[in-house]
Chain A
Amino acid sequence: MSTTDTSVETPPPPPADGAPSRGWRPGSVEVLAAVLVLVVLFQVPISRAMSAPALQTWMTVFIAVVTQAMPFLVFGVVLSAVIAVFVPPSFFAKVLPSKPVLAVPVASAGGVVLPGCECASVPVAGALIRRGVTPAAALAFLLAAPALNPIVLTATAVAFPNNPEMVVARFLASLVVATVMGWLWLRLGRTDWMRPPARPSFEGEGRAAAFWGSVRHDTIHAGGYLVIGAMAAATLKAVVPAGWLQAVADNPVLSVIGLALLAVLLSICSEADAFVAASLSQFSLTSRLVFLVVGPMVDLKLFAMQAGTFGRSFAVRFAPATFGVAILVSVVVGVILF
């Protein structure tokens, strides 16, 4: 986590066009060129150093998480740019109930229509807030979209052929958690916790320029944090022995907490987590439900992305609260349904 902490806050940028008298400073292109030359020169020693099996596994998982998430991230970013540039704010005023208390559950249920994983929902939620949607409703959407969409529910059904109630349980628990978190934010949330989605103003530059500017800005921000999350997930997969899980599975309370933490650490895409949950067959159904509800709402990669999009003081409050509510609701749903 310390890597996340140090890099979450973007340091205050140097005055962009101030102090030309300071002389030449290397820009991004120069630095990049230098690094490229160095890496190409030392490619053979670098490859050799990277050939230890643990390190190779680490790198394979790291690349896999980034590669898998990138299309969803890009589509989320494009969708959010479309919302930001082409959908007028009045559209959301019409679709969502004007009372925030009602807008929250409607937005949660609206998560059904975004067929992506959690990487897509962060930029989209940012764009919704910028478009004047109540933050509580946008946050409910942020939590609901990755878990409730048809692709994820189908994957869950395929992964649990003998327990179809898992799909129902996942749907219900995720919907309730998203709505409760939206209401909590309405009641307790303070706007100064949330740094607004920081972005330059593209007004007056034409729609095409605004669109591409938005895509570029969101990809670079969310993408950078995605890399941090991917590194953490790869470390867990390549370094922590799977045998530890067995010890945890035998205790009902520990197994719920253990799988909740595992969901946070693994940061698997919500479209794949059901298969991983299914393979954790030594755990109880309830603890696996916790895994499926927590994972798409709170994980390392999401935390880093939320901190990058909404600010760190938001993420340090929102993520733990979601974590607690998600565990509680899933256990209750699990006890009722299983």
Chain B
Amino acid sequence: MVLLLVGGAILRASVTDLYLRYVKEGLRPFLIVAGLLLVAAAVTTLWYELRPRKVVPASGGAVPDGFVEAAEHADEHDGHGHSHDPKVAWLLVLPVFALLLVAPPALGSYAAGRSGTAIQEVSEFPPLPAGDPVRISVIDYATRAVYDDGKSLGDRKIKLSGFVLIGEDGAPYLARMVLSCCAADARPIKIGLAGAVPAGLAADSWLEVTGTYTDRTVKDVVNDGVIPYLDVTESHPIPAPHNQYEE
């Protein structure tokens, strides 16, 4: 029963876009296969249970020394063919309920405010793609601004999108969470907003900003990481994107 629920929940999350709030896009095929296997395991268990059974004498089989005596206790939960799930199995119901009924949102400003900005040093900077303004990712902008001193950014017009994070000082930042695997390892990338910043920005609202590089930076209070600024010329609210994380 539990397996059917878990398998079903994983399938449901992976055929919709729900899974994108928690894990990377690349995991989707694995999730679907895993969900199908779980459902198959549940269905076959049901099938074997509904079938008339012959009585089987328990035999030790191939167990190494020292395991034989303990193997007698091994016949714990389901040795009699009924589906008596062990108690710990019921814990699996928790993530299923959380996923299907609550479906918490992707990590936003609360998580971002608690961790330091996480740009990594890069030494090679390919030229910016074409376009005016050119749309790049928040992490790309932050890396170029900090480790390339904005050289590859020049005075090009840059377009970024992210959610609003209100700093401890009350100043608005544009942030995006970066995933390498799942939301448990999500790290924020933060960018300070200078110039024409609209007033009254609400935390977690999504924003598209256009602007140019400025050499102004600030230290993240959490980890002393460098937060670059963008000199904003234009900005407008947008709906949250399909995938709220960056890679």
Report which A residues bind B (CB closer than 8 A).
Answer: 7, 10-11, 13, 16-17, 28-29, 32, 35, 39-40, 43, 46-47, 50, 53-54, 56-57, 59-68, 70-75, 78, 89, 129-132, 134-135, 155, 159, 161-162, 191-192, 195-201, 203-205, 208-209, 212-213, 215-217, 219-221, 223-225, 227-228, 230-231, 233-234, 237-238, 241-243, 245-246, 266-269, 271-276, 278-279, 281-282, 308
Contacts and interface: CB of A to CB of B under 8 A. Distances in A.
Nearest to A42: B101
B58 interface: yes
A227 B95 contact: yes
A272 B30 contact: no
A135 B64 contact: yes
Contact of B56 (A13, A129, A203, A281): A203
Contacts of A29: 1
B144 to A, nearest CB: 16
B106 to A, nearest CB: 7
A35 B93 contact: yes
Contacts of B5: 32
A310 to B, nearest CB: 11
A105 to B, nearest CB: 20
B66 A192 contact: yes
Interface string B63-84: 1111100110111111110111
Given A57-B107, A203-B59, A268 B64 contact: no
Contacts of B78: 200, 213, 217
B130 interface: no
Interface stretch (B156-164, B181-189, B230-238): B181-189
Contacts of B107: 57, 60-61
A60 B59 contact: no
B199 interface: no
B19 interface: yes
Interface of B: 1-3, 5-6, 10, 13, 19, 21-23, 27, 30-31, 33-34, 37-38, 40-42, 44-45, 48, 54, 56-59, 61-67, 70-71, 73-80, 82-95, 97-99, 101-102, 104-111, 114-116, 118, 120-123, 180-185, 187, 221-225
Contacts of B34: 70-71, 73-75
Given A70-B6, A78-B37, A198-B76, A220 B85 contact: yes
B67 A191 contact: yes
B181 A67 contact: no
Given A57-B107, A272-B182, A216 B79 contact: no
A10 B77 contact: yes
Contacts of A279: 118, 120, 187
Nearest to A70: B34
Contact of A219 (B38, B182, B221): B38
Contacts of B185: 268-269, 272-273, 275-276
Q: List 5 A-B pairs, minimum CB-CB distance, nearest first.
A: A272-B181, A191-B66, A224-B88, A64-B183, A275-B180
Contacts of B48: 205, 209, 212-213
19 contacts: A28-B85, A39-B97, A39-B101, A62-B98, A67-B27, A67-B99, A67-B182, A70-B6, A74-B37, A131-B62, A203-B61, A208-B44, A212-B40, A216-B41, A221-B88, A227-B91, A245-B223, A246-B224, A281-B223
Contacts, number: 280
A68 B110 contact: no
A160 to B, nearest CB: 9
A67 B13 contact: yes
Given A219-B38, A219-B41, A10 B76 contact: yes
Most chain-B CB neighbours within 10 Å: which of A131, A199, A267, A271? A199
A70 B11 CA distance: 12
Contact of B42 (A32, A129, A132, A216): A216
Nearest to B83: A28
B84 A28 contact: yes
A246 B22 CA distance: 27
Given A195-B70, A221-B88, A278-B120, A71 B79 contact: no
Contacts of A10: 76-77, 86-88
Most chain-B CB neighbours within 10 Å: which of A131, A215, A230? A215
Contacts of B225: 281
Contacts of B224: 246, 282
A68 B76 contact: no
Contacts of A245: 223
A68 B1 CA distance: 21
A138 B159 CA distance: 53
B181 A59 contact: no
Nearest to B111: A57
B75 A74 contact: no
A273 B181 CA distance: 9
A56 B203 CA distance: 15
Contacts of B61: 130, 201, 203
B64 A70 contact: no
A7 to B, nearest CB: 6
A220 B5 CA distance: 12
Contacts of B105: 56, 60
Contact of A132 (B38, B63, B95): B63
Nearest to A131: B62
